[in-house]
Amino acid sequence: MKRRPAAAPRLTRRARAQHGCLVVNAPTANTVAAAEHGIALIAALSRNVAQADASIKAGRWERSKYTGVSIVGKTLAIMGFGKARPGVACAIGYRV
């Protein structure tokens, strides 16, 4: 068990030992994956990917409506990514 989900009940040391569960803290284990996910979300939001997908699935294609904007040269606030935040910023060419 890497980390206990917030909604899961706490497991006692005895219960973990009885079931052979090893509990570890690996705070940087998914930093790169989190940064990559953040970049994907930024790109999807700036280019209206979800809206364009819904439009296509509904049988419409309004290309000009879903063009989106470029993030080049824009000011971007990256909050809430924890240790992944510098990775997101550097990957898209922003200074940290």
Quick check: 54 pLDDT over 90? yes
Examine residue 9 and state whether it is found in any structural domain, yes or no.
no
CA pair distance 85, 77, nearest whole angstrom: 10
- Residue 1 confidence class, pLDDT cut points 50, 70, 90: very low
pLDDT digits (tens, 9 = 90+) for 9-48: 566 777 777 878 777 666 777 777 877 888 888 889 999 9
Q: How many CA atoms lie within 13 A of 12 on its CB side?
A: 3
Tokens read off for 35:
């940064």
Examine residue 13 and state whether it is found in any structural domain, yes or no.
no
CA distances from 49 to 10, 16, 28, 46 (A): 39, 43, 29, 8
Examine residue 51 and state whether it is found in any structural domain, yes or no.
yes
Examine residue 32 and state whether it is found in any structural domain, yes or no.
yes
Quick check: 7 pLDDT over 50? no
Examine residue 4 and state whether it is found in any structural domain, yes or no.
no
Examine residue 22 and state whether it is found in any structural domain, yes or no.
no
Examine residue 5 and state whether it is found in any structural domain, yes or no.
no
Examine residue 35 and state whether it is found in any structural domain, yes or no.
yes
For position 32, what pLDDT does the model report?
A: 78
Domain span at residue 32 reads: 27-91
CA pair distance 62, 57, nearest whole angstrom: 12
Count of structural domains within the chain: 1
